[in-house]
Amino acid sequence: MTSPKSSLTEINFDGIVGPSHNYAGLSLGNIASANHKGNPSYPRAAALQGVAKMRGNLARLGVQGFLLPLPRPNAVLANALAFDGTEAPQLRAAPWSASSMWTANAATVSPAPDTQDGTCHLSPANLVTMLHRAQEWPDTRRMLETAFGDRDHFTVHGPVPPTFGDEGAANHMRLCEGHGSAGVEVFVYGRPGGAFPARQHEQASRLVARAHGLDPSSCVFIEQNPAAIEAGAFHNDVVSVANERVLFTHAEAFADQTGAYDAIRAAFPALEIVEVASADVSLAEAIRTYLFNAQLITQTDGSMALIVPEECRESVPVWAWCKRMMASNGPIREVIPVDVRQSMANGGGPACLRLRVVCDPVTVDPRFMLTEAKADVLERVISETWPEQIDPADLASETRSDTLAAQVIAARSALLAALDLGELN
Ligand code: SUG
């Protein structure tokens, strides 16, 4: 059953940064992750930065959801890896990864107006390319089945089978007249063969579109620019983002940029493109600052704003471009920097930290919806229980890792208890 269109709203479900957040440098092709490998991390500060971002968006949009950290260290993966002390320290770090914070990779979501059966479809991403991420989907699926358990309104699928790599909404964009009307879904995949893995496979994207019951004439499949992957755009959302009629993109995002625009326009004639030329912001600078890993939002007055990382304001070319854009008469009227530096150091900007779900908020399990009072609860539990600092060497140390594991497990349990979500323990 579909809800009346008027009640459909876009809700951002941000991943709460987990208590094991660390910099182990696990993501090949993710430049920030490689550059910060071995640095101490600050899980408490990281999680509080995330809550502050959510508070800002709750005030701006009137609605905000969240998803929870997954159980870490993951005993199932640790057992499967048969650690005996001879393994590389990096392998030892995989069961500790807090990477589920980047909920743009939790699932691909097709809202009810786009699907044949009129329910909102969610497919958890298998994330098979990276070991530390491939462990996420079983727990993510369980959480999605809880948050979106109303079967009259949601269909939660299993993941795409391996070997097709699926990275979820990070490689998926939706164009529409308004969030509650039928949209065109754009799937962006990479072709293997470059220096870095192409994490989203074409066959995975096509499979998700079929499983979700999308109208083939409202689907567009386009190839990521191999040069962008090589420059560090391991997900397409590092070089483009869409909202309603607008596609905000770097000029070198797609393998065939003009062909991509033509294909999207053929399916969605109202398309408005805001393109950033390489001469204004190079691909390298775009990836360093995460200008495109922004939340492009429609504010309550109908105007669009871009929520960017603070790093954008500190970049001379990026901020100059943003200022020019704001002074022009384009569709994006405001640029709002937010501090998510702890996540950024692992390659996760404002857009990575959220999963967009268009639905009627009353159909979501209310335990996953944020209120100001609940943000207070999150901040209290995080401040009281999240580790202040993690040195990646602790994860491989026999003595220190036991103490840290106990703290991480207790912190997550405290959060689940405070949110009445103990069933996810
Ligand atoms: O998968 N980083 C994540 C960042 C994900 C960003 N998400 C989007 N672009 N939507 C990744 O590469 C770093 C983990 C480490 O280095 O230990 C990491 O997994």
Three-state DSSP state, 300: coil
Q: How confident is the model at residue 1 (pLDDT cuts 50, 70, 90)?
A: very low
Give 90's contacts (C-beta < 8 A, 6+ positions apart). Answer: 24, 25, 26
In this predicted structure, the answer to whether residue 290 has a pLDDT above a threshold of 60 is: yes
Look-up of token digits 């786009």:
114
User: Is the CB of 21 inside a 6 Å radius of any atom of ligand 1?
Assistant: no
Residues 6+ apart with CB under 8 A from 121: 109, 110, 115, 154, 155, 156, 157, 211, 212, 213
**Any atom of ligand 1 within 6 Å of the Cβ of 133:** yes
Q: What is the pLDDT of residues 87-124, one digit of tens each?
A: 988 899 999 999 999 999 999 999 999 999 999 999 99
Average pLDDT of the residues in 389-395: 95
Among 119-133, 135-149, 206-220, 390-404, the least confident range:
390-404
pLDDT class for 398, splitting at 50, 70, 90?
A: confident
Mean pLDDT of 133-139: 98
Q: 352 CA to middle of ligand 1, Å?
A: 8
In a mutational test of the pocket of ligand 1, which residue from 235, 238, 295, 340 has the highest number of ligand atoms less than 8 Å from its CB? 235
CA distances in angstroms from 172 to 23, 55, 197, 290, listed in the order given: 27, 25, 18, 17
* pLDDT-based confidence at residue 3 (cuts at 50, 70, 90): very low
Cβ atoms of residues 338 and 56 within 8 Å: yes
Instruction: Using pLDDT thresholds of 50, 70 and 90, give the confidence band for residue 6.
Output: low
Residue 376 has a CB neighbour count (10 Å cut-off) of 12
Q: Where are the beta strands (DSSP E) in 22-145?
A: 65-67, 107-110, 120-124
| Cα gap 389→22, rounded to integer Å | 9
Q: Is 105 in the pocket of ligand 1 (CB under 6 A)?
A: yes
Phi, psi of 181 (to 5 degrees): -100, 165
List the catalytic residue out of 132, 179, 212, 235: 235
> Is the model's pLDDT at 148 over the cut of 80?
yes
**Mean pLDDT (the chain, rounded):** 97
pLDDT score of 397: 87
CA 381 to chain centre: 23
Kind of pairing between the strands at 172-176 and 183-189? antiparallel
For a pLDDT cut of 90, what percent of the chain falls above it? 96
236's tokens? 């397409």
Asked if residues 325 and 294 have their Cβ atoms less than 8 Å apart, the reply is no
CA neighbor of 164 nearest in space, from 125, 121, 138: 125
CA distances from 248 to 127, 171, 276, 424 (A): 25, 14, 8, 37
pLDDT band at 4 (very low <50, low <70, confident <90, very high): very low
Distance 30 CA to ligand 1 centre (A): 7
Per-residue pLDDT, averaged over 126-150, amounts to 98
